[in-house]
Structure 1
C-alpha cells in the first residue's frame, strides 16, 4: 500500500478548494449529517451536568499544567524511566521520524501497526517509514479507510467523516476485495479481519497519547475500537509519540479532562477503552510489549509557549468540538484547509507549524461567530487568537514579538496605505470634512463592485450630502 507524500499547504489553493467543496452536494451532505449528529450527541451527553463549571475545571487543569510544563516534563521523564520506558526528545517532526526509524531499525523491524495519532500525521511518519522500507498500516478504522484512499484525515477524531457508507463500501471493494454492501457491521468486520492478521505479524506498534501523567509515569490512550490496545500490547515493541503539551500533573487531573474529552468528541459518557500504560511487560505477565518508548515532540510548541496569549493554543485536548460546531468547517470540510489540523483549532495551531507565509489563509477562514470558543471544553479563546494571528499576518510594524514564522506575510502595501490614510482623515477634522465633501460630489464615480464582499451584496452608495451638511440643513 503506497503512502501519499506529505502535503505542503499552498495558500493559492485554499479558495479554489473551498469553492469546489461548497459546490459538491455529496460532501456538504456528508458533513452536515455528521456534524448535526455530533452536536446533538454532545448536548445530550452534558445534560444534568454543570457544563460551565466543568469547562472551568478543565481550563484550570490545563492552565496549571502549562504553567508548570518544564518541571512536569522532567518529572514525567524521571517516572517513565523508573517504570522501564525509554524517553526520547525531538525538536521537530523530522527528528521525531528519525528517532522512530532508528528504534525500528534496531529491532530489524519491517512492519509497524499504528494506532490513531494526529502527531504522527503532523510528522508525516507513515511516508518517512515507507521511504526506509518499513510498512506502516493504520489500525483505526477511519484512518485505515483514509489510508486505503490515499488521502489525509479530514477530522481529528473521525478521519473518514467526509465519506458515506456507499463510498466506503466501493473503496473497500476496489482495494481489498470485500463485497459491495451498505451493511456497516459487515464492512467493519471485514476491515477488522484484515487488520487482525497484520496485528499478529507486526514488529512494532506505534500509537499516540491523549494524556501523559507526570506523577505516575503513565501514558493514557482513549479509543473505541480496541485497535489501540492491540497496537500497544501485541507487537513486541511499542512506540508512543506525543506533543510536549499533553502532560498533566496527576491522575485526578486527567479524570476531569476525560469527562470533557469523551463527551465533547463523540457524545459518550466514557469511551469503550481507556488504556493506561506504565511500562513494558514485567516478570510473569502474559501480554504487553518487551520495550516501550515515548517520543516527546516539540515541533514549534516551545515558540507558542513563550507567548502569553498564544500559549492558550496548547490547552487543546483534541476533542474536535470546535470543528463540529464551526459553520465554515461544516460547509467546506477538512481537506479544504490542506493542513494536518483543520477547522478552528487548525487555524490557530498550523501557522506555528508551517508559518504564516504558507498558512496565511487560515486565520481569515473564519466568520468569527464565536461558536468554537463557546463549546471548547477547556475554554480556549479561539476567536481572540484568530484576531491576533490576523494582525500578525499583516503586521509590518511588528506590534507583537515575532513568534510565528512568516510574520507580515499578508501585508499589502496599497491596503496598508489606504488604512493609514483612513486613520489620518479620521484623526483630523478638517481632512475628514474635506474628504467627505469631495466623496459626496464624486459619488457617481463609485464602482459597483468592491471586491468579493459585493459578489453577493449590493455595494453601499455614498450619500449625496454629508452628515454635517444634513445637520446644518435641519438647523437652518
Structure 2
C-alpha cells in the first residue's frame, strides 16, 4: 500500500477529512485533560520509561524467567523469530484443533505479522471481534488508527455497511441500534468458536502471567467460551514484576482514549481444566533494532 496515494484519495472527500481531523483532535484533548488530572503524571512517565529501559537491558534473563514461570503455570510457550514463524505456529495450533474458524480480539502484533490474510489463504476464517476491527474487516481495509481502527468512518458509512452485511434497517444511523446488531452478529461467532486469539498488553516475568486490556469485553468473551486461547506477544511487552503493572495501567488508557482505566483488565495465569493457553513470543526485528547504536 502506498501511504501517499491512500492519503491523497482519502483527502479528496473534504467532509470525511474534516471529520477525521476533528475526531483525532477530540481524542487528543481528552488525553491531555486526563493527564492533567494526575499530579504525578510526568513522574509516572519517567518511572515507566525506567522500567522499560531496565527490561530492554535485561531482556534475555527476563524472557527466560517469564517462560519458566508461564510454563510452570501450564501455559504452552512458543518462540517466533519473525512474522512467518508466528503465523505458522498459529496455523499449526488451529490445524491440531481441526479449527476452520477463529475469533480474534484486536492485536496490533497480528496486524504487523499480516496474520489474517495468511490464515485466510490457508482456509481459516478469521472473525475480528473488536467492533472497529470488524467494521474495517467488512470493508477489507487495514485499521486506520492504532487504538481507533475505524475512526475515519462516519455513522452513515457504518449504517450502509451494516445494511449490506448484517441486513440492518436501511438509513438507520442510531449508534445503539448498530452496536446491538453487531453484538447479535458476534455473539453467534463467540458461541461456535473452539479457538480464540488475543494480543497481549503486558507479560509479567515474576509470575508468568499476561494481561489483556480491552473496553468491549470481546477478548474475555472469546477466550472464556473457547477451548484454546492463543495469545500473541511482542517480546518488548514484558515487565519485571506485578507491582510494576500499576504504573503502566495508570498511563495506558489515559494516553490512548482519555479514560482513567480500560473497562476490562484481564489477567491470564494458566488454563482452566481441560483447556489450553498458547503464548507466542515474537521477535520480528525487535532484537535487531535493540542492537543498533
- Give 1:211 shift: 0.5
Name 2:258's counterpart in structure 1: 267
The alignment partner of 2:145 has SS state of coil
For structure 1, the residue ranges without an aligned partner over 5 or more in a row are 1-8, 283-288, 309-476
Report how far residue 41 of structure 1 moved: 1.1
Q: Deviations over 1:195-233 (max 9, x none)?
A: 000001012100000010110111100001010111221
Deviations along 1:156-191, one digit per CA (max 9) or x if unpaired, are 111111101111111111112111322111111110
Alignment length, in residue pairs? 291
1:293-332 C-alpha deviation (Å, 9 max, x unpaired): 0011111111001023xxxxxxxxxxxxxxxxxxxxxxxx
> Are 1:36 and 2:21 an aligned pair?
no
Bigger-Rg structure (1/2): 1
**Structure 1: distance between partners of 2:4 and 2:217:** 39
User: Runs in 1 of length 4+ with deviation above 2 angstroms?
Assistant: 13-24
Q: Can you give the 5+ residue segments of structure 2 that lack an aligned partner in the other structure?
A: none
Partner of 2:289: 304
Q: Measure how far apart 1:51 and its partner are.
A: 2.2
**Residues 134-149 of structure 1: pairs in structure 2 closer than 5 A:** 134-149=124-139
SS of structure 1 residue aligned to 2:267: strand
Q: Aligned pair in 2 of structure 1 residues 16, 112: CA closer, same or farther (>3 Å)?
A: closer
SS at structure 2 position matched to 1:79 = helix
Q: TM-score, normalised by structure 2?
A: 0.96
Q: Secondary structure at the match of 1:222?
A: strand
The 3-state SS of whatever aligns with 2:36 is coil
User: For 1:46, what is the secondary structure of its paired residue?
Assistant: helix
SS at match of 1:220: strand
Question: 1:196 aligns to what?
Answer: 187
Q: What do you get for the CA RMSD once the two structures are aligned?
A: 1.3
Deviates more, 1:38-47 or 1:149-158: 38-47
| 112, 125, 128: which one aligns with 2:102 | 112
Matched, 1:26 2:15: yes
The superposition leaves residues 64-88 of structure 1 with CA deviations (integer Å, 9 ceiling, x where unpaired) of 1111111111011000000000000
C-alpha distance 299-249 of structure 1, shift in aligned 2 (>3 A): same
Matched, 1:101 2:91: yes
In the aligned structure 2, how far is the partner of 1:71 from the partner of 1:27? Answer: 48
TM-score (norm 1): 0.60
Mapping for residues 51-200 of structure 1, pairs under 5 Å: 51-179=41-169, 180-200=171-191
Using the alignment, how far apart are the partners of 2:148 and 2:3 within structure 1? 22
1:126 positional shift? 1.2
Greater strand proportion: 2
Q: 1:142, 1:151 → 2: CA distance? A: 11
Return the alpha-carbon distance in structure 1 between the equivalents of residues 174 and 182 of structure 2: 13
Instruction: Tell whether the 8 Å contact from 1:110 to 1:203 is kept in structure 2 after alignment.
Output: no
Name the SS for the 2:126 alignment partner. strand
- Structure 2 match to 1:290: 275
SS in 2 for 1:219: strand
